[in-house]
Amino acid sequence: MKNRCLFKSILLLLITGISCFLLGQGQIHIEKDNPFLQYPSIKWVQESSSAGWEARDSQGELVYKGYMWILGGWHDSYQAPPRDVWRSNDGKSWEKVLDNAPWLHSDLPMSAVFKNRMWMMGGWYNGRLEGRSASNSVWSSKNGKDWELVTGNAGKNWDDVWYSTDGKNWTKLKTEGVKWKERHEHSAFVFQDKIWIAGGMTPPLVNDVWSLKLPEKEREWE
């Protein structure tokens, strides 16, 4: 867990353009002459020291219809993950929308907003308890309270890439050349019209970065 948190912290610094070096023992050195550190508008404000939801990580996170949303997550490897849904329009006051959502695998899910709906995909269940498992189910909701199981058997992801226009029917993207090693817990994002993945656990924990530029026409993807 310590390594996972350290990796995510370093990745955040790299994304924002701040140069940093590992010194060992979990210490990080940041270049003091980096212009990002001197930019006057960079200031973090604590909006809440204790939000309404139970302390957690690895939750689904969305911005949808003017609200920030928290979906499930992880708080203990020896308990089933929480299945609650929360929202806030200011980061200070949080409203519980749902106590027990129908999805079970809420630890490390993929979450997205697509076609005016919230989507919850994959995830992990039950930490280190018996019955633990990963999921390739896909859920969607228009309001965070009513969830629909779109499919319980989407494409299984390891070192491959899948895409969908409706969340129900998935197509494997054909790629050529060297690909990344299969992994989980990596970061994925879009930047400069490319899909990027960074780091993850293969195992071991890795720090490689890959990008993929898609053809402009969808028919050329296959």
Could you report the per-residue pLDDT of 130-185, keeping only the tens digit for each? 888 888 899 999 999 999 999 998 765 478 888 898 999 999 888 777 688 888 77
Q: Would you list the domain boundaries of the chain? A: 1-32, 52-156, 173-222
Backbone angles phi, psi at 101, to 5 degrees: -70, 160
Report the percentage of the chain scoring pLDDT > 70: 77
| Eight-state DSSP code of residue 218 | G
Contacts of 90 (CB under 8 A, 6+ apart): 47
What does CATH list as the number for 52-156? 2.120.10.80
Residue range 85-119, pLDDT digits in tens: 999 999 999 999 999 999 999 999 999 999 999 99
**pLDDT attached to residue 36:** 53
Task: List pLDDT tens digits, range 23-82.
Answer: 444 454 555 555 555 556 678 899 999 999 999 999 999 999 999 999 999 998 888 899
SS3 content of the chain, % helix, strand, coil (to 5): 10, 35, 55
Q: What is the mean pLDDT of residues 188-195?
A: 89
Residue pair 119/140 in contact by the 8 Å Cβ criterion: yes
AA identity, residue 5: C
C-alpha dihedral sign at 69, 71, 77, 78: positive
Residue 158 CB-density burial (10 A; 0-12 exposed, 13-18 middle, 19+ buried)? exposed
Q: 3-state DSSP call for residue 153?
A: coil
The amino acid sitting at 85 is V
* Residue indicated by tokens 């969830």: 147
